[in-house]
Amino acid sequence: MSNANFKTWLHEIIFGTEPGPGRNFDIFLIVVILSSVAALFVDSVASIHQRYGDFLFGIEVFFTILFTLEYGARIYCSPNRRAYIFSFYGLIDLLATIPTYLSIFIPGAQHLLVIRVFRVLRVFRVFKLFHYMSEANVLLRSLLASRRKISVFLVSVLTVIVVFGALMYLIEGPENGFTSLPRSMYWAIVTVTTVGYGDIAPHTPLGQLVAAMAMITSYAIIAIPTGILSAELIQESQRMITNRQCVNCAKFGHDKEANYCKHCGEKMPPPQ
């Protein structure tokens, strides 16, 4: 097999998602990623670390060598190496290997090992594998389409949080746990998102009244992002937006009955 042929063959296996070697490789990879993350989880429990720490470190070194080989192979068979290295997945793939090497050479870098957990982000490749990309894209497109509304919502929420935080700092004061404005804001976020740890809670009657008002406000607030996204998802499904693409401006988002591109006015090819 020639060098170029070998590269193409390797590329198909590593980057491909078609049934056959490409798919098998991806399934194997996801099993390996999840196993290595599981090992990290188990190793972080103090009692297990004391008894099986050395064994788990051996497993970790084995996984790291595997990931290093994979990373090398990905760079080797990429048609555009620079693009892969600086892509989102390229950086995550690199992050999957370096912490282990650093912990060997730099003694104080023990706690850097937790970064290896971000390997879990590589699991998103699973969507590509099972042809779930279109569902993921619908959700992403809906989120993107409503990004302006969500920005307005977030700015409003943060303002509400600052105002309620400042009010409670004024009313409750340091003697009731609201020791500073940042801490009051932390309380406000915990309350408005309805998490409600209870580590900081109002003690004065006036503080409880203002807190109650913040909670009632949070009701209206929760309704807003849900409403925005519901409206967007319904529009998405009603417009029956297909995969039709304009031949002139290459944009998507055309419905079944469109004869002309709504973005540039070009004649659309008939729907398949």
Cα distances (angstroms) measured from residue 36 to each of 30, 43, 272: 10, 10, 44
Q: Is the dihedral of CA 101, 102, 107, 108 positive or negative?
A: negative
Contacts of 219 (CB under 8 A, 6+ apart): none
Decide if residue 159 touches a copy of itself (CB under 8 A).
yes
Distance between CA 18 and CA 115 in Å, rounded? 31
Decide if residue 52 touches a copy of itself (CB under 8 A).
no
Nearest approach, Cβ of residue 22 and a copy of itself (Å):
20
Distance between CA 169 and CA 179 in Å, rounded? 7
8 A C-beta contact, residue 190 and residue 200: yes
Size of the site for a copy of itself (CB under 8 A): 103
Of the candidates 144, 131, 125, 123, the residue with the CA atom closest to the CA atom of residue 243: 131
The string of DSSP codes covering 50-62 is HHHHHHHHHHHHH
Distance between CA 70 and CA 59 in Å, rounded? 17
Residues numbered 23 to 42 that lie near a copy of itself (CB under 8 A) are 37, 40-41
Taking residues 66 to 85 in sequence order and writing x for each that binds a copy of itself by CB under 8 A, - otherwise, the string is --------------------
Nearest approach, Cβ of residue 208 and a copy of itself (Å):
5
Decide if residue 254 touches a copy of itself (CB under 8 A).
yes
Decide if residue 9 touches a copy of itself (CB under 8 A).
no
Decide if residue 250 touches a copy of itself (CB under 8 A).
no
Name which position in 6, 27, 28, 45 contacts a copy of itself (CB under 8 A).
Answer: 45
SS3 213: helix
Decide if residue 228 touches a copy of itself (CB under 8 A).
yes
Tell me which stretch binds a copy of itself (CB under 8 A): 8-16, 64-72, 83-91, 109-117: 109-117
Torsion of CA 23, 27, 32, 38, to 10 degrees: 160
Nearer Cβ to a copy of itself, position 1 or 195?
A: 195
The residue length of the chain stands at 272
Nearest approach, Cβ of residue 81 and a copy of itself (Å):
27
Nearest approach, Cβ of residue 213 and a copy of itself (Å):
9
Decide if residue 260 touches a copy of itself (CB under 8 A).
yes
Residues numbered 182 to 211 that lie near a copy of itself (CB under 8 A) are 182-183, 185-186, 189-191, 193-199, 201, 205, 208-209, 211
